[in-house]
Amino acid sequence: MQLIKSCIPVIPSVDLEKSLRFWVDGLGLTMDREMRSEGRLIGCMLHNEQTYFWLNQRVGTPIKPEDYEGIRLYWSPTDIHATRERLKQLGYDVSETEDREYGQTEFSLTDDDGYSHCFGVATKA
C-alpha cells in the first residue's frame, strides 16, 4: 500500500533572493510557484525533474538563534486522514488536521529525533 506520494523539504532562508544564487545558479534548479509579500519573495518551489524543495522565509531574526530548528520535511500523503491515524496508532503525537488559508489541509508531528514533519494535501473545495 502506497502511503506517500512525495516529500518536499522546507528550507528556511533569511534572504530568498540571495539564496536563489545557490539553488538556481549553483544547482541548476528551476524556481516557480513563488509567494510574495509587499513585493518581497517569501516562498517559492525549487525543482528539477526528480527533486523538489520549498524555500521559505525564515521567521524571526536574521541571526541564527540557538534554538534554530533547521529544515522541515513536507510530506504529500495519498490519504491524509489514513496517514494521520496510522501515525497516531503508532504512538506519535500528531496535531489536529487544519485547513490553512493558503489552500492546504495539514497536520504535523515531531519525530523521535526532534525533526518536524508536516503532512499536507490541497484542501478540497
pLDDT tens-digit readout, 17-45: 988 988 999 888 999 999 999 999 999 99
**Model pLDDT, residue 61:** 67
pLDDT of residue 52: 92
**Domains in the chain, CATH or no CATH each:** 4-122 (3.10.180.10)
| Contacting residues for 89 by C-beta, under 8 A, at least 6 apart | none
112 pLDDT tier (thresholds 50, 70, 90):
confident
Q: Residue 103: which pLDDT band, with cuts at 50, 70 and 90?
A: very high
SS3 assignment, position 111: coil
Residues contacting 106, CB < 8 A, separation 6+? 80, 97, 98, 100, 118, 119, 120
Residue 24: Cβ within 10 Å count: 15
Q: What pTM was computed for the model?
A: 0.65
Predicted pLDDT of residue 113: 66
pLDDT for 2 beyond 90? no
CB neighbours of 24 closer than 8 A, spacing ≥ 6? 30, 31, 46
Tell whether the model's pLDDT for residue 85 goes beyond 90: yes
124 — pLDDT class (breaks 50, 70, 90): confident
Per residue in 47-82, pLDDT (tens digit) is 999 889 999 988 766 677 777 667 778 888 889 999
